[in-house]
Structure 1
């Protein structure tokens, strides 16, 4: 069966499934429904074809390390499965340069443009240049859903496995997720030995501020929180946006390092299809 036959078969099965829920006795109504289902294709619109934008390429992580922008050990982490250094997009390089200058930033680029690298690379670079004292959370990365937490955790674990296999050394930073899915023994272990990079959601970040057993995660001992990252920034609107804004204020009051860097990312924060670059920047600035 080719793809076109499969497409026709799926539509036919779906049409039969919809019809199975009702029996129409009136011939005129039945003809109208059949026309809507078959000729007008009301339940299955035409295919949608979208072209992904091409993002400007820039330096490799190795080249940035050679210029002193990135720590050499970080350059050893961010490599492909074949061992080649990641070639970064221009917005990833700009994010790295802003972080090195101690500036906060918002990244708005399309899906698949490597937004997670715009904060994980600066975070690891900072931790390698100035390791925190003891087991302390130095970077808190907040996602709106556990599925995103799990996805990014898997990506970090892939980097760790590849690095240790390639170099024979231990991964240079510690990381872990802390969500409602984290089991009791794992929670106890994290409370005893907090990771340097913690992946969580905004509800758990709230609980970490109020639960006595979790307060060790977020304090100023060991230098405090250096990076506060909110992924999918566009989801925090309305009442939820107000709640998260208050959460950010409380996090900063409790555990912010003197030069805390704020990072936000989004693939869908736009001012309009015909907006100018300046209008797009203004929209992001107003939201942030």
Structure 2
């Protein structure tokens, strides 16, 4: 079974780096060479880690289905018919909050949640909902409704793939990317698409070429801020900002908003003012402005106020953070579940058990549970604890591990250590096993590997490998 081995990975990285140093700064004298190699091996400043961090999942909220039944979201979501956006799956609480604020309260918003927290859904669902409502009212004519601004083409291309999956069964909403990579002629654009996406056919609602965009601008336009500058200057691109197709602008979304500080921030702020002058005659309150970031804010009211002030200056629109008034909180952060830490413990087994158990699982034996029980008895797990796990695991060794480990004294101690902050694996090993550093690290390594294997505890304790070579 393939597994993450933090100790082996760390040692491999360090060993290769030391070999590089020993080879690069080699001595002709064998004695000096050996002394240098010994000093390198004994010096501990080349690596920090592995680092253990508990990362509980985000709190769950209501589903898209629930929001449709409430009347907040359009029933057109049912017509997407795609697994890319499961309507029955619960959203995260921060996604639900963002959707309600953008759809019901018409707020401008900074979505400052972590990587992998679903920031895209937080703004894309409201944008799709707006387009659905326009379709229901017979107002979904060609023209940009939402501008998604990315710092790099690679991020814009990732979003394009997401939109293809979402809108493949809904041809009424159009989308397209206008960057330096976008071909002018439709034929060349199609050829490029097929080259970049072998085996795939272009969707009818993805506008691939500049030529086609000029004739019929997409509802969702993706670009970067450098290209936006060109679009505002060139007469042939006036169709996006002037005339009959430029009357329905609604959203401006800036991804990775935290990078726009200093001179770059000033440039973007001016660029956005020029854009707003073209599309809404600089009137405030017409557009909804959204910024996303995984690394923007702290956790205090003072931090949130600074963020809203930054957003206000950047977009030149109203952003607020008023204490004790959730309706005027224009920063959305992720809310994570608390670690589930048992208050009771059956004790702790002999240290070698964790490696024995890992070997059983790694060897691929069919009757894993019987072997796990046998070794558990040999290494100090109470009989009643083993019996209870055996009777309630439903024949699944992963659940058997969970039922044992959830009340293991060492695991409870580790969870308490990680509840507030990350720590080095060596620190945790010394705390849990109190033996020689090498032995402790190995035992903790096996212990963590078991945690990562079992099926339920991963929701409350996750081992994140952090190796920083200095």
In the superposition, the TM-score normalised over structure 1's length comes to 0.85
The alpha carbon displacement at 1:89 in A equals: 1.6
Aligned residue among 114, 117, 132 for 2:118: 114
Provide the residue aligned with 2:355 in structure 1. none
**Local SS of the residue matching 2:47:** coil
- Structure-2 separation of matches of 1:14 and 1:36: 14
1:128–1:172 Cα contact (<8 Å) kept: no
Provide the residue aligned with 1:167 in structure 2. none
**Local SS of the residue matching 1:225:** coil
- Structure-2 separation of matches of 1:82 and 1:94: 17
1:175–1:198 Cα contact (<8 Å) kept: yes
* 2:101 counterpart of 1:98: yes
Structure 2, unpaired ranges of 5+: 186-208, 312-470
- Structure-2 separation of matches of 1:82 and 1:227: 21
Equivalent residues, number? 277
Provide the residue aligned with 2:179 in structure 1. 179
**Local SS of the residue matching 1:180:** coil
What is the alpha-carbon root mean square deviation over aligned residues?
2.7
**Local SS of the residue matching 2:250:** strand
**Local SS of the residue matching 1:15:** helix
1:78–1:86 Cα contact (<8 Å) kept: no
Provide the residue aligned with 1:229 in structure 2. 253
Provide the residue aligned with 1:140 in structure 2. 147
Decide whether aligned partners of structure 1 residues 133 and 68 sit closer, same or farther in structure 2, where only a CA change above 3 A counts.
closer
In the superposition, the TM-score normalised over structure 2's length comes to 0.54
Structure 1, unpaired ranges of 5+: 165-169
1:18-41 alpha-carbon deviations (Å, 9 max, x no partner): 333232357897567535532224
Q: Bigger shift: 181-190 or 145-154? A: 181-190
1:133-172 alpha-carbon deviations (Å, 9 max, x no partner): 53211100101111111111111112223xx2xxxxx333
Larger % of strand: which? 1
* 2:223 counterpart of 1:200: yes
Larger radius of gyration: 2
Q: How does 1:7-18 map to 2 (within 5 A)?
A: 8-18=11-21
Provide the residue aligned with 1:66 in structure 2. 69
- Structure-2 separation of matches of 1:160 and 1:66: 22
- Structure-2 separation of matches of 1:284 and 1:33: 50
* 2:273 counterpart of 1:246: no
**Local SS of the residue matching 1:224:** coil
Q: Bigger shift: 143-152 or 251-260? A: 251-260
* 2:311 counterpart of 1:285: no
Decide whether aligned partners of structure 1 residues 251 and 145 sit closer, same or farther in structure 2, where only a CA change above 3 A counts.
same
Aligned residue among 237, 252, 263 for 2:290: 263
1:78–1:85 Cα contact (<8 Å) kept: no
The alpha carbon displacement at 1:14 in A equals: 3.3
- Structure-2 separation of matches of 1:99 and 1:109: 16
Provide the residue aligned with 2:130 in structure 1. 126
Decide whether aligned partners of structure 1 residues 65 and 260 sit closer, same or farther in structure 2, where only a CA change above 3 A counts.
same
Provide the residue aligned with 1:49 in structure 2. 52
1:244-283 alpha-carbon deviations (Å, 9 max, x no partner): 0001111111113862101111110123xxx53x123212
- Structure-1 separation of matches of 2:9 and 2:56: 30
2:167–2:173 Cα contact (<8 Å) kept: no
- Structure-2 separation of matches of 1:280 and 1:175: 35
Decide whether aligned partners of structure 1 residues 266 and 36 sit closer, same or farther in structure 2, where only a CA change above 3 A counts.
farther
